[in-house]
Amino acid sequence: MKFFIDSADVNEISEIASTGLIDGVTTNPSLIAKSGRNFIEVVKEICDIVDGPVSAEVIATDAETMIVEGNKLSKIADNVTIKVPLTWEGLKACKNLSVEGIMVNVTLCFNANQALLAAKAGATFISPFIGRLDDMGLDGMELIEEIRTIYDNYENLETEILAASIRSVNHVRQAALIGADVATVPGKVLKELAKHPLTDKGLDAFMKDWEGTGQSIL
Ligand code: G3P
């Protein structure tokens, strides 16, 4: 499973990417607004830090302008992935950009039929939003399962499932169990993946016992 970091905070991306655990980055207009920085500059800096796909989202709502924006953003760096919304216009833009060889991430996916259309439109990634479905009292993981089943039913559907709107470590575990290809995870949740109280407790005990030996390794 690939891990993308869901962030437009260059310092956070840089720190977490230094672990070697990050395969890509996803940004969206809200994350760019939160960074308070210039969109193009931030995307360029992120692309210099991470080799894998870096999603940059178009702002237009009509296909023609989305394609122009997508072409402009794709020139920032070779690893830019153009993010388009899962609308009829977004699907048209996806088809057009993907035919040109540009990676496309179709975002704001909330049902399996939308995911099927995105794959038919040549999307590199489909982004089903787990947390936002859970927020409505629905089960975001069911959507990941349905998309996995549909994509596995047809060899010609090569789109990768990018589990998005991940809010907890449990979301990551469940998405991995189902077989999502990628999880895009906020930095805070990524760090929590490494935590377990028994790990901390065990390490404390090892350290105390080691102190008692009076030895040192270096
Ligand atoms: O990149 C999109 C995404 O992951 C959004 O997450 O928490 O705003 O629903 P959230």
Give domain status of residue 218, yes or no.
Answer: no
Give domain status of residue 173, yes or no.
Answer: yes
- From atom 8 of ligand 1, which residue's Cα is the shortest distance away? 165
Gap from CA of 35 to ligand 1 centroid (Å): 15
Residue pLDDT, tens place only, 13-36: 999 999 999 999 999 999 999 999
62: left (phi > 0), else alpha (psi -120 to 50), else beta? beta
pLDDT of res. 93: 98
Indicate the DSSP class of residue 128: E
Give domain status of residue 111, yes or no.
Answer: yes
Residue pLDDT, tens place only, 136-172: 999 999 999 999 999 999 999 999 999 999 999 999 9
Which are the contacts of 132, defined by CB distance < 8 A and separation ≥ 6?
A: 110, 140, 165
Give domain status of residue 32, yes or no.
Answer: yes
Give domain status of residue 179, yes or no.
Answer: yes
**Domain assignment of residue 35, given as a range:** 2-213
For the CA of 186, the nearest atom of ligand 1:
4
Beta strands per DSSP E along the chain: 2-6, 24-26, 54-57, 80-85, 104-109, 125-128, 160-163, 182-185
Residue pLDDT, tens place only, 82-141: 999 999 999 999 999 999 999 999 999 999 999 999 999 999 999 999 999 999 999 999
Give domain status of residue 120, yes or no.
Answer: yes
Nearest 10 degrees: Cα torsion 163, 130, 89, 147: 60
- From atom 4 of ligand 1, which residue's Cα is the shortest distance away? 165
Gap from CA of 184 to ligand 1 centroid (Å): 9
For the CA of 164, the nearest atom of ligand 1:
4
Count the Cβ atoms, other than its own, within 10 Å of residue 161.
25
Domain count, the chain: 1
- From atom 6 of ligand 1, which residue's Cα is the shortest distance away? 165
In contact, 97 and 69? CB cutoff 8 Å: no
In contact, 63 and 90? CB cutoff 8 Å: yes
> In this structure, is the dihedral angle defined by the CA atoms of residues 97, 145, 23 and 165, taken in order, positive or negative?
positive
Residue 83 among the catalytic residues: yes
Give domain status of residue 68, yes or no.
Answer: yes
Structure tokens at 199: 């790990």
Which of 72, 83, 92, 120 is catalytic? The answer is 83
Cα(106)–Cα(152) distance, integer angstroms: 19
The CATH number of residue 164's host domain is: 3.20.20.70
Gap from CA of 60 to ligand 1 centroid (Å): 19
- From atom 10 of ligand 1, which residue's Cα is the shortest distance away? 165
